[in-house]
């Protein structure tokens, strides 16, 4: 069992930055890939970024490339999402998720409760 708790959301002006954190409990954190997703009002949840268990491999949605950076600190059981140059369309609830094995495969078994990010224009 893995429990995930996101933090770092809030209200930010367009062009600003935020860093989201996701703290994980459980001994398997360092052996699984982690992902960030988001869901905007009235829209389906979408993929944002993913990182392999050791941090060497990362994937990004086109909307995140060049602006967002996913990273992890396995000693702290935490994954981060640094978000720069924020736009109003980045407004959403952001979720972190734990994968099934080391490499991002698109399958996630555990999800956090989400953290709201609101970007004002």
Digitized pLDDT (tens) for each residue of the chain, 121 residues in all = 789 999 999 999 999 999 999 999 987 899 999 999 999 999 999 999 999 999 999 999 999 999 999 999 999 999 999 999 999 999 999 999 999 999 998 899 999 999 999 999 8
Query: How many Cβ atoms from other residues are within 10 Å of residue 59's Cβ?
Result: 18
pLDDT at position 2 is 86
pLDDT at position 13 is 97
Q: Quick one: which of 38, 49, 33 has its CA closest to 104?
A: 33
Query: How many Cβ atoms from other residues are within 10 Å of residue 69's Cβ?
Result: 16
pLDDT at position 21 is 98
């Amino acid at each position: 069992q893995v429990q995930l708790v996101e933090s770092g959301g809030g209200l930010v002006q367009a062009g600003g930055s935020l860093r989201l954190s996701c703290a994980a409990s459980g001994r398997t954190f360092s052996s699984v890939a982690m992902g960030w997703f988001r869901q905007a009002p009235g829209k389906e949840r979408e993929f944002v970024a993913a990182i392999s268990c050791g941090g060497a491999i990362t994937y990004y949605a086109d909307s995140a490339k060049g602006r967002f950076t996913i990273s992890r600190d396995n000693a702290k059981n935490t994954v981060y999402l640094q978000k720069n140059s924020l736009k109003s369309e980045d407004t959403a609830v952001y979720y972190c998720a734990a994968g099934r094995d080391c490499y991002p495969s698109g399958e996630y078994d555990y999800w956090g409760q989400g953290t709201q990010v609101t970007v004002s224009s």
